[in-house]
Amino acid sequence: MKNSNDTKQKLIDVTRQMIDTSGVDSVSMRDLGKETNLSRSAVYVYFKNKDDLLAAIVIENFDTLKNRISKLIGEINDPKKLVYEVLYAFYDFGIKNQEHYPLMFRKQWNKEQYPTLHISAIEVFALLYECLEKAHEQKCTVNKSPKQLTAMVSSFILGLVELNSTGHLEPEKGLDDPTDLINSFVDVIFI
């Protein structure tokens, strides 16, 4: 490892692999040190505790999601199609990153202790708000404010990811086709 930034990124990357392989509970600073050929105390030079390390990963995750949504905003002009694609990007990210999603959306991170993480999360939701505000201004949505629409849409997609990641895909509940559910929900908020 060349310098401190490379070492720090290596610690993040190895932790990400540990989470993907064995879950968040498998992460320990001692095991991380072993995996990266650093002493446990050397790991603490870069991250003061496990939460600091996990926060760095969550920030990267939000940045990845933000980049995907920003790309969609740059490519799609139709507001309804854009909202569908953004929701699908959220859903896809959640399903493909099931061990990371709870860290992003279930864990309560202290805003004062992790301001960068809080900003990263807000930026993702601000992009969703931007999509819905544009649709609202074009009078394409139901008569709700962009803020209300963003809250509704966020709740829907986070709930859908949660239901599907925990195995609730039963056809009798109507949960067996997430893409159709996303389309149906978008139909409800657009006129």
CATH of the domain at 5: 1.10.10
Residue 98: give the domain boundaries: 55-189
pLDDT in tens, 49-77: 999 999 999 999 999 999 999 999 999 99
pLDDT in tens, 114-130: 999 999 999 999 999 99
pLDDT in tens, 25-55: 999 999 999 999 998 789 999 999 999 999 9
Q: Which residue has the higher pLDDT, 170 or 37?
A: 37
For residue 1, the model assigns a pLDDT of 42
In this structure, what token pair is assigned to residue 65? 């999601």
**Domain match, 72 and 37 both:** no
In angstroms, what CA-CA distances link 145 with 124, 129, 149, 183, 187? 18, 10, 6, 20, 17
**Domain match, 10 and 62 both:** no
- Any idea what the CATH number is for the domain that residue 69 is in? 1.10.357.10
Domain count, the chain: 2
Average confidence (pLDDT) over 8-36: 93
Q: Taking Cα atoms as reference points, which of 160, 101, 150 lies closest to residue 128?
A: 150
**Domain match, 21 and 87 both:** no
Cβ-contact 72, 65 below 8 angstroms: no
Q: Which residues of 131-166 are buried (b: 16+ CB within 10 A; e: fewer)?
A: bbbbbbeeebbeeeebeebbbbbbebbbebbebbee
The pLDDT confidence band at residue 2, using thresholds 50, 70 and 90, is: low
pLDDT in tens, 70-119: 999 999 999 999 999 999 999 999 999 999 988 999 999 999 999 999 99
**Domain match, 166 and 75 both:** yes
**Domain match, 24 and 88 both:** no
**Domain match, 72 and 43 both:** no
**Domain match, 40 and 63 both:** no
For residue 3, the model assigns a pLDDT of 72
pLDDT in tens, 137-154: 999 999 999 999 999 999
- Among 12, 27, 47, the domain-final residue is 47
CA–CA distance, 30 with 44 (Å, rounded to integer): 10
159-168 LR contacts (CB < 8 Å, sep 24+) = 160/91, 161/90, 161/91, 161/94, 161/95, 161/101, 164/91, 164/95, 165/94, 165/95, 165/98, 165/101
**Domain match, 25 and 81 both:** no
**Domain match, 132 and 80 both:** yes
